[in-house]
A and B are shown apart, each in its own frame.
Chain A
Amino acid sequence: MQSSNRKALLGLTLFLILFPVVAMNVSAIGHYLDIMIFVGIYCLINMGLSLLMGYAGQISLGHAAFFGLGAYTSGILCTKFSMSPWLAMVAGVGITALVAYIVGVPSLKLKGHYLAMATLGFGVIVHIFFNEEVSLTGGPSGFSDIPGLSILGFSLNSDLSYYILVWFLVLLTLIFSLNVIHSRIGRALRSLHDSELAADAMGVETSRYKVMIFVLSAVYASVAGSLYTHYVGFLSPSSFDFFLSIKLVMMVVVGGMHNIWGALLGTWLLTFLGNEWLHVFHDFDILVYGAILLAVVMFLPDGLVHLVPRMSRVWKRG
């Protein structure tokens, strides 16, 4: 691993260890722990989206569907079939990966706008499915009483325990993803992004890698969905609608899609904005979201993470 990544990982880990200590002792930000759990869950999805969009250059406007598939599979199997949550999570991953593969093979033959619309359409179809299959999903009102997770008989019943679990998984996924990025597979993805023609000529199986990374990103989203289900304890389709897909893409773009750290930064920022700092705007957060996204794409096309090296240079100089 590159030393800059190693340093950033170390920094992140330190922050994650210190954060609950501070949050739990300062009552004004006590609830930040809860928000951080959501940040972690969305980070899981967005690392996959970053690989897909920023590295392989393929857009998806339907990732809320994979998040939802993981969530509903876990929820349904645990409540209706009393399956063990961990087994249900694995089943969710299996189902989501299968769906992603089936959708991915024809979709990723498409390019640009066509791909965007196909994934968007897919996401909306899945959302309609969640709404309509009432006997399975509970329809628009969803269902509740989904059991929490437990590890080796120790049940996770506090925010802190979920915080640790979620962020532990985020760190593992981050390391896995960084390793993939800095390997022949990561290079293959980036090469097909820059020139599919040349990548093909170098023998890179471009269509296979596109589908592979699409499925991998769906798997990340599915795991995130399962964690979400067990943490929140209830499910309804509105948590997995088309606007979530758009918001996920926004997080990745605002943070900087050509860099997986950007996805983390954007997720953290927009989740805190949405759940906490934009409450002054009540329902009008959409307006602010739109403005932020537009401003970033127009004036900072590489995302906020692009500012970090600049700032650290200024820091060192001054």
Chain B
Amino acid sequence: MTKITLTGQLIQYLFTGVTVGSIYAMVAVGFNIIYNVTEIINFAQGEFVMLGGLIMVFFTVTAKLPLPLAFVLTVAAVTGVGALMERFTINPLKNASVLTMIIVTIAVSILFKGIAMFVWGKDPYIFPPFSGSKPLFFYGAAIQTQTLWVLFMTAVMVVLMTIFFKKTRYGKAMLACADNPEAARLVGIRVNVMILISFALSAAIGAVAGAVITPISLMEYDRGALLALKGFGAAVLGGLGSFYGAVVAGIFLGIIESMCAGLVSSGYKDAVALILLLLVLYVRPSGLFGNVEASKIKEF
């Protein structure tokens, strides 16, 4: 084994950072989609990722389905979970206070966590990477091929979401709800349906994130909360509601965290993202990339 150079090490950390960061980015985008349509922060957002990972394990390892089929089924299943959550908990609670909404989504997240533990127990699970476990070497850094899958899926998500919100009828209608729900209602947009779609969509994105990251980081029932917290950090960092801001901030957060873990202390790596979150909230709640005025105008 050759000696690992400092550059090699840095590149390694960078890749790890971008990988985890992509997951934060996807969670953050999930937060934004729901927030933009409903002004609700869905505390169960991280649970979608957890469910995505564990359901993927079920389809690939337990049911032994081929990977693409397993992937599609996983995303479909979690999307359904998101839609059910909206129908049974969010939809009946029209006009509830913010405090109630926070507590409801927390309750749902606990429920999901409990169900996951009931089904899978407390052990972490893994399934094989999409394209084998042989790493690629790059300037002395070993890069898992799954990392590339994560980046690829993130890119696909960004492209698809952009097309969805810019080009499709439903996407545009959702943006209209985000701007002004009353006006949207008046021009005949069914806001109820848009809220349902927003939950389904962010669940789907969460599922994709969970499905691609599990071969790298494993997955267990209680992973959701911290993912949600960091994803929220990314969403705030990028300016709550801003789509591209979330992606950039997520990846940025991932890199910072991974550099800190590698170069400073791995124990405090989780704290770094959170301290950053607090600082941003305290100093610039409109996000690092947004300005205060712009933060009031919602945009994907």
Contact = CB atoms under 8 A, between A and B. Distances in A.
Within 8 Å by CB, do A and B touch in the complex?
A: yes
A301 interface: yes
Contacts of B148: none
Contacts of A118: 277-278, 281-282
A168 interface: no
B46 to A, nearest CB: 12
Interface stretch (A38-46, A121-129, A148-156, A215-223): A121-129
Contact of A113 (B102, B117, B265): B102
A287 B93 contact: no
Nearest to A253: B103
A121 B232 CA distance: 10
A290 B96 CA distance: 19
Interface string A104-121: 001101111110111011
A125 B271 CA distance: 5
A20 B298 CA distance: 59
Contacts of B111: 287, 290-291, 294
Given A289-B110, A297-B107, A110 B285 contact: yes
Contacts of B277: 117-118, 121
A283 B117 contact: yes
Interface string B242-286: 000000000000000000000001011011001101100110010
A124 B270 contact: yes
Interface in B111-137: 111-115, 117-118, 122
Q: Chain A, interface size: which category?
A: 35 or more
Interface string B83-112: 000000100110010111011101111111
Given A132-B268, A287-B111, A246 B106 contact: yes
A247 to B, nearest CB: 9
A34 B136 CA distance: 58
Given A113-B41, A284-B114, A298-B93, A290 B281 contact: no
Given A125-B275, A293-B107, A117 B114 contact: no
Given A125-B271, A297-B104, A297-B107, A289 B114 contact: yes
Contact of B113 (A59, A290, A294): A290
Contacts of B110: 246, 286, 289-290, 293
Given A53-B99, A125-B275, A128-B271, A294 B282 contact: no
Contact of A293 (B106, B229, B233, B270): B106
Interface string B149-177: 00000000000000000000000000000
A242 interface: yes
Contacts of B93: 298
B236 interface: yes
A242 to B, nearest CB: 6
Contacts of A121: 229, 233, 274, 277-278, 281
Given A53-B99, A284-B118, A128 B278 contact: no
Contacts of B117: 283-284, 286-287
A114 B109 CA distance: 18
A138 to B, nearest CB: 14
B294 interface: no
A192 B110 CA distance: 30
A249 interface: yes
B281 A117 contact: yes
Contacts of A128: 267-268, 270-271, 274
Contacts of A53: 99
A59 B106 CA distance: 13
B236 A117 contact: yes
Which of A253, A283, A290 is most buried by chain B, counting CB atoms within 10 A of its CB?
A: A290
A275 to B, nearest CB: 17
A229 B40 CA distance: 38
A68 interface: no
A288 interface: yes
A43 to B, nearest CB: 20
Interface string A204-241: 00000000000000000000000000000000000000
B208 to A, nearest CB: 23
A131 B265 CA distance: 13
B229 A120 contact: yes
A57 interface: yes
Nearest to B110: A290
Contact of A110 (B43, B270, B275, B281): B281
Interface in A180-195: none
B65 interface: no
B99 A57 contact: yes
B112 to A, nearest CB: 8
A254 B108 CA distance: 15
B93 to A, nearest CB: 7
B225 A114 contact: no
B4 interface: no
B267 to A, nearest CB: 4
B226 interface: yes
A282 to B, nearest CB: 10
B253 to A, nearest CB: 13
5 contacts: A117-B281, A121-B277, A284-B114, A290-B110, A298-B92
Q: Which 10 A-B pairs have the closest CB atoms?
A: A287-B114, A290-B111, A290-B110, A286-B114, A113-B41, A106-B282, A112-B98, A293-B107, A294-B107, A132-B267
